[in-house]
Structure 1
Amino acid sequence: MKLLSCLILSILVSLLIISCKTEKKEYKPHQPIQRNELEVSIKRGNDIYSNFCISCHLPNGKGVKNIYPPLSDSDYLKNNRDASIKGLKYGLKGEIIVNGTKYNSFMPPMGLGDDEIADVMNYINHSWGNKYGKIVTVEEVRKIKK
């Protein structure tokens, strides 16, 4: 009986030692695919556009000729990235030329945060067929000064 107890104890100790030395594979649950950062920003920007911009620039981004400039197919937006961000951030006053048409309306500052400005710029730059460059970042907006 004593011999059997010793044998069982020795087998258990051996199994314990073996199991401690065996490397266990870490379980990693399935990670969902992360959505593209630009795509997420555009979605947030769509909401901001709907709340702040749509009444003047319209749902299709075409604006109102001679009053509110178009955002869709806009040479001004395409060629004046910093000025466009600045206009959104601080408002816009004075003449600008968009697609050969002069606009001299006043756009007040919307009171948006830098993150919201980046999102709405990304929405505008990638909607209605626009393909106006890389993602606008919060850091880029933050660097734009009056």
Structure 2
Amino acid sequence: MSRGKQIYQNECMVCHMENGEGISGAFPPLANSDYFKNDVSKAVDAILNGLEGELVVNDVTYFGIMDPVPLSDQEIADVLNYIRNSWGGTAEELNVADIQKMK
């Protein structure tokens, strides 16, 4: 969790905010987000390839661009473990093998 928190603070927090709630109308929330709650591979894809265009998160439509984030498989696992288990969330721990399967 501490490694994931550090990555989150360095790479994600500027847009998704310290509490993971994003910025209304601009950047979607990661905290309690339905976008990848049941399909974490969407988050892996977003980190590796970025996102562009319309995105619906928690019934709110966002339009924007997220550039790819150059992270290793271990760093992706760490930051997603942090995101999925912070702000009231609970999820199974991801490891490098899980990330590699989703790529």
Number of the residue aligned with 2:64:
105
Q: How many pairs align?
A: 103
Unpaired stretches in structure 1, ≥5 consecutive residues: 1-41
What is the CA–CA distance in structure 2 between the aligned matches of 1:93 and 1:64, rounded to whole Å? 17
SS in 1 for 2:94: coil
Structure 1 CA distance, aligned partners of 2:53 and 2:98? 24
Identity of aligned residues (%): 43
Q: Residue 22 of structure 2 aligns to which amino acid in structure 1?
A: G
Q: How far apart are residue 77 of structure 1 and its match? A: 2.5
Question: For the residues of structure 2 that align with 1:120 and 1:112, how far apart are their CA atoms?
Answer: 10
Alignment of 1:27-106 (within 5 A): 42-106=1-65
Matched, 1:138 2:96: yes
User: Hey, what's the Cα distance between the residues in 2 that align with 1:144 and 1:109?
Assistant: 16
Unmatched tracts of structure 2, length 5 or more: none
Deviation (angstroms), 1:130: 1.2
- Higher normalized contact order (CA 8 Å, seq sep 6+, divided by chain length): 2
TM-score, L = length of structure 1? 0.67
Answer 1 or 2: which has greater helix percent.
Answer: 1
TM-score w.r.t. the length of structure 2 is 0.93
Q: Secondary structure at the match of 2:70?
A: coil
